[in-house]
Structure 1
Amino acid sequence: MSTAILAPGSRGRRLSKRLLQVVITLFGLLLLTFTIGRVMPIDPVLAIVGPDADQSTYQQVYQQLGFDKSLTTQFGIYFVNLLHGDLGNALLTGKPVVDDIIRVFPATMELATMAIIVGAGLGIPLGVLAAARRNSVSDYVVRIISLAGYSTPIFWVGMMGAAGVLCLAWLGRRRREGSPRAGWYGAAPHRADHR
Protein backbone atom coordinates (compact mmCIF):
# COMPACT_ATOMS: atom_id res chain seq x y z
CA MET A 1 0.00 0.00 0.00
CA SER A 2 1.44 3.34 -1.05
CA THR A 3 1.63 6.10 1.53
CA ALA A 4 2.88 8.81 -0.80
CA ILE A 5 2.16 12.30 0.51
CA LEU A 6 1.39 15.01 -1.98
CA ALA A 7 3.80 17.91 -2.12
CA PRO A 8 2.39 21.18 -0.74
CA GLY A 9 2.59 22.79 -4.19
CA SER A 10 0.46 20.11 -5.82
CA ARG A 11 -2.19 20.44 -3.08
CA GLY A 12 -2.36 24.16 -3.75
CA ARG A 13 -2.71 23.57 -7.48
CA ARG A 14 -5.49 21.03 -6.90
CA LEU A 15 -7.29 23.40 -4.55
CA SER A 16 -6.96 26.25 -7.07
CA LYS A 17 -8.27 23.99 -9.82
CA ARG A 18 -11.27 22.99 -7.69
CA LEU A 19 -12.05 26.59 -6.80
CA LEU A 20 -11.86 27.57 -10.47
CA GLN A 21 -14.26 24.74 -11.32
CA VAL A 22 -16.68 25.97 -8.64
CA VAL A 23 -16.54 29.54 -9.97
CA ILE A 24 -17.10 28.37 -13.56
CA THR A 25 -19.98 26.12 -12.50
CA LEU A 26 -21.66 28.90 -10.49
CA PHE A 27 -21.26 31.34 -13.38
CA GLY A 28 -22.74 28.77 -15.76
CA LEU A 29 -25.69 28.23 -13.43
CA LEU A 30 -26.26 31.98 -13.20
CA LEU A 31 -26.15 32.27 -16.97
CA LEU A 32 -28.53 29.33 -17.36
CA THR A 33 -30.95 30.75 -14.78
CA PHE A 34 -30.88 34.16 -16.44
CA THR A 35 -31.43 32.66 -19.89
CA ILE A 36 -34.34 30.49 -18.76
CA GLY A 37 -35.95 33.55 -17.19
CA ARG A 38 -35.71 35.40 -20.49
CA VAL A 39 -36.95 32.66 -22.84
CA MET A 40 -39.99 31.64 -20.80
CA PRO A 41 -43.25 32.14 -22.71
CA ILE A 42 -44.67 34.18 -19.80
CA ASP A 43 -44.56 37.96 -20.24
CA PRO A 44 -43.41 39.22 -16.81
CA VAL A 45 -44.44 42.80 -17.59
CA LEU A 46 -47.98 41.68 -18.40
CA ALA A 47 -48.03 39.60 -15.22
CA ILE A 48 -47.13 42.70 -13.19
CA VAL A 49 -49.32 45.34 -14.85
CA GLY A 50 -52.23 43.05 -15.67
CA PRO A 51 -54.04 42.51 -18.96
CA ASP A 52 -56.10 45.72 -18.64
CA ALA A 53 -53.13 48.11 -18.40
CA ASP A 54 -52.64 50.69 -21.12
CA GLN A 55 -49.62 50.75 -23.43
CA SER A 56 -47.84 53.61 -21.61
CA THR A 57 -47.98 51.76 -18.28
CA TYR A 58 -46.72 48.61 -19.99
CA GLN A 59 -43.80 50.52 -21.58
CA GLN A 60 -42.92 52.20 -18.27
CA VAL A 61 -42.71 48.87 -16.40
CA TYR A 62 -40.88 47.32 -19.39
CA GLN A 63 -38.19 50.01 -19.07
CA GLN A 64 -38.09 49.82 -15.24
CA LEU A 65 -37.33 46.11 -15.47
CA GLY A 66 -34.58 46.82 -18.00
CA PHE A 67 -36.05 44.74 -20.81
CA ASP A 68 -35.34 47.57 -23.26
CA LYS A 69 -31.59 46.91 -22.87
CA SER A 70 -29.55 44.24 -24.65
CA LEU A 71 -29.35 40.76 -23.11
CA THR A 72 -25.66 41.19 -22.27
CA THR A 73 -26.40 44.47 -20.46
CA GLN A 74 -29.31 42.85 -18.63
CA PHE A 75 -27.07 39.97 -17.54
CA GLY A 76 -24.37 42.40 -16.40
CA ILE A 77 -26.88 44.31 -14.26
CA TYR A 78 -28.26 41.01 -12.92
CA PHE A 79 -24.75 39.80 -12.03
CA VAL A 80 -23.65 43.05 -10.34
CA ASN A 81 -26.89 43.25 -8.34
CA LEU A 82 -26.41 39.64 -7.28
CA LEU A 83 -22.88 40.39 -6.07
CA HIS A 84 -24.32 43.20 -3.94
CA GLY A 85 -26.90 40.87 -2.39
CA ASP A 86 -29.82 42.25 -4.37
CA LEU A 87 -31.79 39.25 -5.60
CA GLY A 88 -34.33 41.53 -7.25
CA ASN A 89 -38.09 41.29 -7.19
CA ALA A 90 -40.21 38.29 -8.07
CA LEU A 91 -41.58 39.00 -11.53
CA LEU A 92 -45.04 37.64 -10.82
CA THR A 93 -45.60 39.30 -7.43
CA GLY A 94 -43.30 42.32 -7.61
CA LYS A 95 -42.13 41.64 -4.03
CA PRO A 96 -38.43 41.30 -3.13
CA VAL A 97 -37.16 37.74 -3.53
CA VAL A 98 -35.34 38.04 -0.19
CA ASP A 99 -38.69 38.53 1.57
CA ASP A 100 -39.99 35.31 0.00
CA ILE A 101 -36.85 33.45 1.06
CA ILE A 102 -37.12 34.76 4.63
CA ARG A 103 -40.80 33.79 4.74
CA VAL A 104 -40.25 30.17 3.69
CA PHE A 105 -36.86 29.62 5.35
CA PRO A 106 -38.22 28.30 8.69
CA ALA A 107 -40.36 25.69 6.92
CA THR A 108 -37.40 24.73 4.72
CA MET A 109 -35.20 24.24 7.78
CA GLU A 110 -37.89 22.12 9.46
CA LEU A 111 -38.14 19.91 6.38
CA ALA A 112 -34.36 19.62 5.99
CA THR A 113 -33.90 18.78 9.68
CA MET A 114 -36.62 16.13 9.59
CA ALA A 115 -35.14 14.66 6.40
CA ILE A 116 -31.74 14.34 8.09
CA ILE A 117 -33.26 12.82 11.22
CA VAL A 118 -35.37 10.31 9.29
CA GLY A 119 -32.55 9.51 6.86
CA ALA A 120 -30.01 8.91 9.62
CA GLY A 121 -32.58 7.19 11.83
CA LEU A 122 -33.39 4.67 9.12
CA GLY A 123 -30.13 4.56 7.17
CA ILE A 124 -27.70 3.87 9.99
CA PRO A 125 -29.60 0.96 11.58
CA LEU A 126 -30.38 -0.58 8.19
CA GLY A 127 -26.73 -0.23 7.16
CA VAL A 128 -25.56 -1.87 10.38
CA LEU A 129 -28.08 -4.68 9.87
CA ALA A 130 -26.93 -5.24 6.29
CA ALA A 131 -23.26 -5.24 7.33
CA ALA A 132 -23.83 -7.59 10.27
CA ARG A 133 -25.77 -10.10 8.17
CA ARG A 134 -23.86 -9.91 4.93
CA ASN A 135 -25.34 -11.86 1.98
CA SER A 136 -28.44 -12.77 3.98
CA VAL A 137 -32.06 -12.06 3.10
CA SER A 138 -32.07 -8.92 5.27
CA ASP A 139 -28.92 -7.67 3.48
CA TYR A 140 -30.58 -8.12 0.08
CA VAL A 141 -33.78 -6.42 1.26
CA VAL A 142 -31.79 -3.44 2.55
CA ARG A 143 -29.87 -3.27 -0.75
CA ILE A 144 -33.12 -3.27 -2.75
CA ILE A 145 -34.63 -0.56 -0.53
CA SER A 146 -31.44 1.51 -0.87
CA LEU A 147 -31.34 1.10 -4.64
CA ALA A 148 -35.01 2.05 -4.92
CA GLY A 149 -34.41 5.08 -2.73
CA TYR A 150 -31.47 6.29 -4.81
CA SER A 151 -33.23 5.55 -8.12
CA THR A 152 -36.48 7.34 -7.35
CA PRO A 153 -36.51 10.94 -8.63
CA ILE A 154 -36.69 13.34 -5.69
CA PHE A 155 -39.40 15.46 -7.33
CA TRP A 156 -41.64 12.37 -7.54
CA VAL A 157 -41.05 11.56 -3.87
CA GLY A 158 -41.97 15.16 -3.04
CA MET A 159 -45.14 15.05 -5.12
CA MET A 160 -46.21 11.77 -3.52
CA GLY A 161 -45.48 13.19 -0.08
CA ALA A 162 -47.53 16.31 -0.84
CA ALA A 163 -50.36 14.17 -2.19
CA GLY A 164 -50.26 12.01 0.92
CA VAL A 165 -50.24 14.93 3.31
CA LEU A 166 -52.73 17.14 1.47
CA CYS A 167 -55.11 14.75 -0.26
CA LEU A 168 -54.97 11.71 2.00
CA ALA A 169 -54.63 13.77 5.21
CA TRP A 170 -51.81 11.63 6.63
CA LEU A 171 -51.03 14.40 9.10
CA GLY A 172 -54.58 15.68 9.60
CA ARG A 173 -55.93 18.96 8.31
CA ARG A 174 -53.39 21.19 10.05
CA ARG A 175 -51.31 23.78 8.27
CA ARG A 176 -48.21 25.69 9.21
CA GLU A 177 -48.92 29.03 10.85
CA GLY A 178 -48.49 31.86 8.39
CA SER A 179 -48.73 29.62 5.34
CA PRO A 180 -50.97 30.97 2.59
CA ARG A 181 -54.22 29.29 1.63
CA ALA A 182 -54.13 30.43 -1.99
CA GLY A 183 -53.18 28.30 -4.96
CA TRP A 184 -53.29 24.58 -5.57
CA TYR A 185 -51.78 23.63 -2.21
CA GLY A 186 -54.32 25.70 -0.32
CA ALA A 187 -57.25 24.26 -2.28
CA ALA A 188 -56.09 20.62 -2.28
CA PRO A 189 -57.62 19.59 1.08
CA HIS A 190 -60.95 21.14 0.08
CA ARG A 191 -60.85 19.34 -3.28
CA ALA A 192 -59.94 16.06 -1.59
CA ASP A 193 -62.99 16.32 0.68
CA HIS A 194 -65.35 16.88 -2.28
CA ARG A 195 -64.36 14.22 -4.80
Structure 2
Amino acid sequence: MLGTEVTVHVNRGSADALEVATESLEIRESVTLLLQGHTSPAHVHCRLAGDLEYVATIDQANYYVEPDGVTAVPIGVDADAIEQPVEGRLEILTGYGSESVSIDVTVVPGTPDIDVDESLSEPARSEPDPTALDSAVDRLAAVGLDPATLAVLALGLVAVGIAALTAATVGGPIATVGVAIVVVGFAVALFLLVR
Protein backbone atom coordinates (compact mmCIF):
# COMPACT_ATOMS: atom_id res chain seq x y z
CA MET A 1 0.00 0.00 0.00
CA LEU A 2 1.43 3.35 -1.00
CA GLY A 3 0.16 6.40 0.83
CA THR A 4 1.13 9.64 2.47
CA GLU A 5 -1.31 9.72 5.41
CA VAL A 6 -2.19 7.19 8.10
CA THR A 7 -4.95 7.85 10.66
CA VAL A 8 -4.95 6.63 14.27
CA HIS A 9 -8.12 7.21 16.30
CA VAL A 10 -7.40 8.25 19.89
CA ASN A 11 -9.97 7.71 22.70
CA ARG A 12 -12.77 6.64 20.40
CA GLY A 13 -15.30 4.77 22.50
CA SER A 14 -13.22 4.66 25.70
CA ALA A 15 -10.32 6.41 27.43
CA ASP A 16 -6.81 5.42 26.41
CA ALA A 17 -8.09 3.56 23.35
CA LEU A 18 -6.14 3.50 20.08
CA GLU A 19 -7.46 2.28 16.73
CA VAL A 20 -5.33 2.22 13.63
CA ALA A 21 -6.77 2.40 10.12
CA THR A 22 -4.08 0.09 8.69
CA GLU A 23 -1.72 -2.45 10.20
CA SER A 24 0.96 -2.34 7.50
CA LEU A 25 2.35 0.31 5.23
CA GLU A 26 4.76 0.33 2.29
CA ILE A 27 6.29 3.72 1.57
CA ARG A 28 9.06 5.35 -0.45
CA GLU A 29 8.49 8.91 0.71
CA SER A 30 7.66 10.85 3.84
CA VAL A 31 4.33 10.08 5.51
CA THR A 32 2.05 11.94 7.90
CA LEU A 33 0.52 10.20 10.91
CA LEU A 34 -2.84 11.79 11.76
CA LEU A 35 -3.86 11.45 15.41
CA GLN A 36 -7.66 11.88 15.37
CA GLY A 37 -8.91 12.87 18.83
CA HIS A 38 -12.39 11.85 20.05
CA THR A 39 -14.09 12.02 23.48
CA SER A 40 -11.27 13.23 25.74
CA PRO A 41 -7.79 14.74 25.39
CA ALA A 42 -4.77 12.46 25.44
CA HIS A 43 -1.01 12.41 25.45
CA VAL A 44 0.34 10.15 22.70
CA HIS A 45 3.90 8.88 22.35
CA CYS A 46 5.22 7.89 18.89
CA ARG A 47 8.42 6.00 18.17
CA LEU A 48 10.18 4.07 15.44
CA ALA A 49 11.36 0.51 16.05
CA GLY A 50 13.49 -1.98 14.15
CA ASP A 51 15.55 -0.90 11.18
CA LEU A 52 13.00 1.80 10.41
CA GLU A 53 14.75 4.18 12.79
CA TYR A 54 17.80 4.21 10.45
CA VAL A 55 15.88 5.62 7.45
CA ALA A 56 13.01 7.54 9.08
CA THR A 57 12.70 10.33 11.65
CA ILE A 58 9.97 11.81 13.83
CA ASP A 59 10.39 15.47 14.85
CA GLN A 60 9.30 14.83 18.45
CA ALA A 61 8.03 11.83 20.39
CA ASN A 62 5.18 13.23 22.50
CA TYR A 63 2.00 14.86 21.21
CA TYR A 64 -1.07 16.31 22.87
CA VAL A 65 -4.30 15.39 21.09
CA GLU A 66 -7.34 17.64 21.61
CA PRO A 67 -10.85 16.13 21.72
CA ASP A 68 -12.33 16.14 18.19
CA GLY A 69 -9.06 17.56 16.88
CA VAL A 70 -6.43 16.23 14.52
CA THR A 71 -2.74 16.33 15.34
CA ALA A 72 -0.38 15.77 12.42
CA VAL A 73 2.86 13.90 13.07
CA PRO A 74 5.29 14.23 10.13
CA ILE A 75 7.54 11.23 9.60
CA GLY A 76 10.51 11.94 7.35
CA VAL A 77 11.74 9.07 5.20
CA ASP A 78 15.04 8.92 3.27
CA ALA A 79 14.36 6.14 0.76
CA ASP A 80 17.10 7.39 -1.57
CA ALA A 81 19.75 6.27 0.94
CA ILE A 82 18.81 2.57 0.70
CA GLU A 83 19.28 -0.06 -1.99
CA GLN A 84 16.92 -2.70 -0.62
CA PRO A 85 13.70 -2.59 1.44
CA VAL A 86 13.97 -1.72 5.13
CA GLU A 87 11.39 -3.03 7.60
CA GLY A 88 10.39 -1.78 11.03
CA ARG A 89 7.46 -0.61 13.11
CA LEU A 90 5.80 2.66 13.96
CA GLU A 91 4.60 2.36 17.55
CA ILE A 92 1.91 4.63 19.02
CA LEU A 93 1.34 4.56 22.81
CA THR A 94 -1.08 6.32 25.17
CA GLY A 95 -2.16 6.04 28.82
CA TYR A 96 1.51 6.07 29.92
CA GLY A 97 2.14 2.96 27.84
CA SER A 98 -0.92 1.01 28.96
CA GLU A 99 -2.36 1.03 25.43
CA SER A 100 -0.34 0.71 22.24
CA VAL A 101 -0.69 -0.15 18.58
CA SER A 102 1.96 -0.70 15.98
CA ILE A 103 2.05 -0.38 12.22
CA ASP A 104 4.46 -2.56 10.24
CA VAL A 105 6.32 -0.26 7.85
CA THR A 106 8.39 -1.25 4.84
CA VAL A 107 10.45 1.47 3.19
CA VAL A 108 11.26 0.60 -0.41
CA PRO A 109 14.13 2.27 -2.30
CA GLY A 110 13.20 5.50 -4.03
CA THR A 111 13.65 6.15 -7.69
CA PRO A 112 17.21 7.19 -8.53
CA ASP A 113 17.85 10.81 -9.38
CA ILE A 114 18.58 11.38 -13.02
CA ASP A 115 20.83 14.29 -13.85
CA VAL A 116 19.51 16.16 -16.85
CA ASP A 117 21.79 18.74 -18.36
CA GLU A 118 20.98 21.44 -20.85
CA SER A 119 22.41 19.50 -23.80
CA LEU A 120 19.24 17.37 -23.90
CA SER A 121 17.22 20.43 -24.91
CA GLU A 122 19.33 20.94 -28.03
CA PRO A 123 18.43 19.06 -31.22
CA ALA A 124 20.74 16.26 -32.23
CA ARG A 125 23.27 17.30 -34.81
CA SER A 126 23.38 15.21 -37.97
CA GLU A 127 26.58 14.39 -39.80
CA PRO A 128 27.35 16.79 -42.67
CA ASP A 129 27.02 15.49 -46.20
CA PRO A 130 30.29 14.05 -47.50
CA THR A 131 32.29 16.22 -49.90
CA ALA A 132 33.29 15.06 -53.39
CA LEU A 133 36.81 14.36 -52.14
CA ASP A 134 35.48 12.23 -49.25
CA SER A 135 33.29 10.28 -51.69
CA ALA A 136 36.21 9.68 -54.06
CA VAL A 137 38.45 8.52 -51.20
CA ASP A 138 35.70 6.17 -49.98
CA ARG A 139 35.27 4.66 -53.46
CA LEU A 140 39.02 4.14 -53.86
CA ALA A 141 39.23 2.66 -50.38
CA ALA A 142 36.47 0.21 -51.37
CA VAL A 143 38.68 -0.92 -54.27
CA GLY A 144 41.46 -1.68 -51.78
CA LEU A 145 43.53 1.49 -51.66
CA ASP A 146 43.96 3.01 -48.24
CA PRO A 147 44.26 6.80 -47.69
CA ALA A 148 48.06 6.63 -47.21
CA THR A 149 48.51 5.00 -50.60
CA LEU A 150 46.26 7.60 -52.16
CA ALA A 151 48.34 10.39 -50.60
CA VAL A 152 51.57 8.94 -52.01
CA LEU A 153 49.88 8.55 -55.40
CA ALA A 154 48.79 12.20 -55.38
CA LEU A 155 52.21 13.48 -54.29
CA GLY A 156 53.91 11.31 -56.96
CA LEU A 157 51.67 12.69 -59.68
CA VAL A 158 52.45 16.24 -58.50
CA ALA A 159 56.22 15.44 -58.57
CA VAL A 160 56.01 13.99 -62.10
CA GLY A 161 54.01 17.04 -63.24
CA ILE A 162 56.56 19.46 -61.80
CA ALA A 163 59.45 17.48 -63.35
CA ALA A 164 57.74 17.49 -66.78
CA LEU A 165 57.09 21.26 -66.62
CA THR A 166 60.70 21.89 -65.59
CA ALA A 167 62.03 19.70 -68.43
CA ALA A 168 59.81 21.47 -70.95
CA THR A 169 60.96 24.87 -69.69
CA VAL A 170 64.68 24.11 -69.44
CA GLY A 171 64.92 21.62 -72.29
CA GLY A 172 67.88 19.42 -73.16
CA PRO A 173 68.94 15.83 -72.46
CA ILE A 174 69.77 16.41 -68.79
CA ALA A 175 66.24 17.67 -68.04
CA THR A 176 64.82 14.62 -69.82
CA VAL A 177 66.98 12.30 -67.67
CA GLY A 178 65.74 14.13 -64.54
CA VAL A 179 62.11 13.54 -65.57
CA ALA A 180 62.91 9.85 -66.18
CA ILE A 181 64.44 9.52 -62.68
CA VAL A 182 61.35 11.10 -61.07
CA VAL A 183 59.00 8.80 -63.04
CA VAL A 184 61.04 5.68 -62.12
CA GLY A 185 61.13 6.71 -58.43
CA PHE A 186 57.37 7.26 -58.45
CA ALA A 187 56.79 3.86 -60.10
CA VAL A 188 58.98 2.08 -57.53
CA ALA A 189 57.23 3.81 -54.61
CA LEU A 190 53.83 2.90 -56.02
CA PHE A 191 54.89 -0.70 -56.56
CA LEU A 192 56.10 -1.02 -52.96
CA LEU A 193 52.85 0.43 -51.55
CA VAL A 194 50.47 -1.66 -53.64
CA ARG A 195 52.06 -5.09 -53.30
Select the structure with the greater relative contact order (CA < 8 A; seq sep ≥ 6): 2
Between Structure 1 and Structure 2, the one with more helix by share is 1
Could you tell me the TM-score, scaled by structure 2's length? 0.19
Could you tell me the TM-score, scaled by structure 1's length? 0.19
Bigger Rg, structure 1 or 2:
2
Between Structure 1 and Structure 2, the one with more strand by share is 2
